[in-house]
Structure 1
Amino acid sequence: MSELEKDQKIAEVGDVGLPEDLARADLYGLIARFFLLPPDQELLDQIAASIPEGQGSADEAPLARLWDNLVELAKNNPAQAWRDEFDANFISVGKPNVVLNASFYLAGHLNEKPLVEIRRSLDTFGLEAAENITETEDHIAALCEVMRYLIAGDDVEISNLTNQRIFFNAHIRPWYDELCDAIEIIPDMRLYHSVAALTREFMAIEAQGFDMI
């Protein structure tokens, strides 16, 4: 994972492939990783090492402060603690404490019209879910991975700012706040509160940037 540039707005981005694009793609990838699986110790160590011991970020932007908080949690909580919190809240044979799928927030149930619409969008990009992925395409991790591809992919006919804006506004923007709310209202989700806060702030920056296009 490359060093994250904390508060970069899309309006400052030109062609795909600039450092700002790669920073955005990295953060989408990191958010996807946290919501698909609990972080392992290697990932936590990488996050912890992004800020040298005893130093905080000099950047006072909200996203930078939230990153600092995540770094501290990565330093001070082992992978097992993150796994326990993930399993207790995102995994269930019935309805989990927090559902991570767009259909639930936009239609009230899983596997509803929003999932169909996302699959149509993916078809236009020539994308499909990998065979080893069990989550449906409206899972927040899957949507963040699509955004990462639309930012950092090699095919500029697909990976471009226009497609990023359309996909984000249609499939992420309408519900990410509700997802973050659902996480933050559970007191015991101490670790994932930081992930939700980082996600909310980053998505808000993305939305603001797309509105400026």
Structure 2
Amino acid sequence: MSDTAKESTSTEVGDIGLPEDLARADLYGLIARFFQLPPDQTLLDQIAATADQHDAADEAPLAKLWMDVVEVAKNNPAKAWHDEFDLNFISVGKPNVILNGSFYMAGHLNEKPLVNIRKALEDFGLEAADEVTETEDHISALCEVMRYLIAGDDVEISNLTNQRAFFNTHIRPWYGELCDALEDIPEMHLYHPVAALTREFLAIEGQSYDMI
């Protein structure tokens, strides 16, 4: 992403479950972080620490799923997350789970959905940073764009209209299939709660945009 976008997508663990835009942006950033790189111990400790902020009476599905993520963050060291990430997302051939939208929307990588995303980013004045190795249709890249569209300073770009259009076109058509693929691998213990949280959060996002 551009320098501006990168600044707005640095991962912080916010007060997950609040409806405010900052909480939404933080959760997009956290999901992006989980799928870009395996979490380090600092991030896992930050997530585990939010258990003290949790209201036990909160029965909202997103809050419950967040606590599932807290539990696996608290009880599994960074190396376990690293191993699961490498086993399932990194491969010289086809990985166990592909994290790119083109695969789910067009059946192959580097297809028209990727071209469409690049056009949208060009319209927003955004571009991938030199150190980014994933293509722009990677789930982490798309979540970073959503975070920017929510929390960026330029209201001409970061506004509800662009959020809804980008989400409905580039994330909504395939995130369910991605979460299915994640949850269909029995050996993937740590990322199952992450997938469930991702599915619920993005479903809420879709419902919210439908109400506009």
Instruction: Report if the CA contact (8 A) 1:66-1:198 is conserved.
Output: yes
Task: Verify: 1:34 aligned to 2:34, yes or no.
Answer: yes
User: What amino acid sits opposite 1:73 in the alignment?
Assistant: V
- Distance, in Å, in 1 between the alignment partners of 2:18 and 2:201 is 8
- Distance, in Å, in 1 between the alignment partners of 2:171 and 2:16 is 22
- Distance, in Å, in 1 between the alignment partners of 2:104 and 2:194 is 19
Q: Structure 1: which 4+ aligned runs deviate by more than 6 Å?
A: none
* Aligned-pair identity (%): 76
- Distance, in Å, in 2 between the alignment partners of 1:135 and 1:152 is 22
Change (3 A) 1:131 1:41: same
Post-superposition CA distance 1:111-170 (Å, at most 9, x none): 000000000000110000001001000000000000000000000000000000000000
The Cα shift of 1:2 comes to: 4.6
- Distance, in Å, in 2 between the alignment partners of 1:7 and 1:107 is 35
- Distance, in Å, in 2 between the alignment partners of 1:5 and 1:84 is 26
User: What amino acid sits opposite 2:48 in the alignment?
Assistant: A
Find the counterpart in structure 2 of residue 24 from structure 1. 24
Q: Which runs of 5+ in 2 are unaligned?
A: 1-11
Instruction: Report if the CA contact (8 A) 2:106-2:113 is conserved.
Output: yes
Give the total of aligned pairs. Answer: 201
Find the counterpart in structure 1 of residue 158 from structure 2. 159
Task: Verify: 1:182 aligned to 2:193, yes or no.
Answer: no
- Distance, in Å, in 1 between the alignment partners of 2:16 and 2:93 is 39
When normalised by structure 2's length, the TM-score is 0.92
Post-superposition CA distance 1:80-99 (Å, at most 9, x none): 00011000000000000000
When normalised by structure 1's length, the TM-score is 0.92
Post-superposition CA distance 1:61-119 (Å, at most 9, x none): 00000001110111100000001100000000000000000000001100000000000
1:1-213 equivalences under 5 Å are 1-6=12-17, 8=19, 20-52=20-52, 57-213=56-212
Secondary structure of the 1:24 match is helix
The Cα shift of 1:57 comes to: 3.4
Q: Which runs of 5+ in 1 are unaligned?
A: 9-19
Change (3 A) 1:7 1:197: farther
Instruction: Report if the CA contact (8 A) 1:57-1:65 is conserved.
Output: no
Find the counterpart in structure 1 of residue 4 from structure 2. none
